[in-house]
Chains A and B, each alone.
Chain A
Amino acid sequence: MSVVLPPFWSLVEAHGEELLAHARRLAGPQQAEDVLQEALLRALRAYPRLRHAEHLRAWLYRVTTTTAIDGLRARRREVLTDAPPPQVVEPELYDGAFETLIADLPATTQFTLRLRFMDDLDYEAIAQRLGCSPAAARQRVSSALRSLRERIPAS
């Protein structure tokens, strides 16, 4: 094995606080700890397969972001499939956090992110809404995600 990865917990002790703050911004204070826990477990699952030991802090930020967004989607899905009417489920718990997160992004970027993560559309469907090819839709989502990550400061 050529890659020497630092002991995982050294990363947790060095960056855990800022990652929790990051999770709080993404998912709100009530979900932040669960998001961080899931993110760190995901990171642990992938850790031995990393091919280099650079930018590990940025990598943890990325994993936390993805986990938070997946959490928003999962909660959204629960709401869509649960029997009670949507009003009962206090939509602001998830919509609020997500909308706050994307509020300052350009409108088209916001639109793309909502289609993908709030409406849970696949690239085919997003392409139809945006009037472009599925490949272009995929690219827009990925660039929207990039802007989202850049907007979230490290500290």
Chain B
Amino acid sequence: MTPLPAALLERIASAAVQEGLADAVFTRLATPIGRLLVVQGPAGVCRVGFEEEPEDRLLAEAAARLGPRVVASDRELAGTRDALSAYLEGDEERLEVPFDLGLVAAPVRRAALEALQRDVGRGQTVTYGALAASIGRPRAARAVGSACARNPVPIVVPCHRVLPGSGGVGSYGGGPERKRALLALEGALLG
């Protein structure tokens, strides 16, 4: 059987988006840290998945929150793709794409991720404890740790910049190797 032409799929997805039929749009993007799956809803990027994560699960999560009409389009997400590529290839200092933390239910975790994205820039790092203190919850380092571990939008919300107070890079949803790679890309000094 002839495979579906990519141009046809793009045409269908674009028509769906234009008609307001898409609850969410996703794209697969090759980057220096492996293939990413990026899902975007009306309010922005709501999920970034690393290549080890099963796509079915990532898309089902997005569908459960935004609706089942999930379509794929590189073209409709061209802006987000370009921003991520430019950042991960080191050409662009800042990564600014709209994002949506709707998949984060707990207010503390959401506040931690928002503060992290707002306050901790490229090349900087912060400890779990310090991030907890910055949102007025100095004893919530563990909740902050879980917010980072379950961050639905890694890279966009830079949980790789959050390190344990005891040294080392600590854990990362995408694996410690990837965390090191991202910190190296950003020129953050490693202990």
Contacts and interface: CB of A to CB of B under 8 A. Distances in A.
A8 interface: yes
Contacts of A5: 63, 68
Instruction: Describe B's contact surface by its main secondary structure.
Output: mixed
A41 B15 contact: yes
Q: Which of B59, B62, B69 has the most CB of A within 10 A?
A: B69
Nearest to B19: A41
Interface in A49-88: none
A61 B16 CA distance: 19
B67 interface: yes
Given A17-B2, A17-B4, A48-B68, A7 B19 contact: no
Interface string A33-54: 1001100110011011000000
A30 interface: no
Interface string B61-90: 011100111111000000000000000000
Contact of B68 (A6, A18, A36, A155): A6
B12 interface: yes
A16 B3 CA distance: 8
A10 interface: yes
Contacts of A44: 16, 21-22, 69, 71
Contact of B2 (A12, A20, A45): A20
A103 interface: no
Given A4-B64, A7-B70, A47-B68, A41 B4 contact: no
Contact of A9 (B8, B15, B59): B59
Given A4-B64, A41-B21, A9 B71 contact: yes
Interface string B22-46: 1000100000000000000000000
Interface residues of A, number: 24
Contacts of B15: 37, 41
A67 to B, nearest CB: 13
A57 to B, nearest CB: 15
Contacts, number: 68
Nearest to B71: A9
B97 interface: no
A17 B59 contact: no
B5 interface: yes
B1 interface: yes
Contacts of A40: 12, 16
A47 to B, nearest CB: 6
Contacts of B91: none
A13 B19 CA distance: 21
A47 B59 contact: no
Nearest to B8: A33
Contacts of A7: 59-60, 62-63, 68, 70
A10 B63 CA distance: 11
9 contacts: A4-B64, A5-B68, A9-B72, A17-B2, A17-B3, A21-B2, A37-B12, A41-B21, A155-B1
The 8 closest A-B pairs by CB, nearest first: A7-B70, A5-B68, A7-B59, A7-B63, A44-B21, A16-B4, A17-B1, A9-B72
Interface of A: 4-10, 12-13, 16-18, 20-21, 33, 36-37, 40-41, 44-45, 47-48, 155
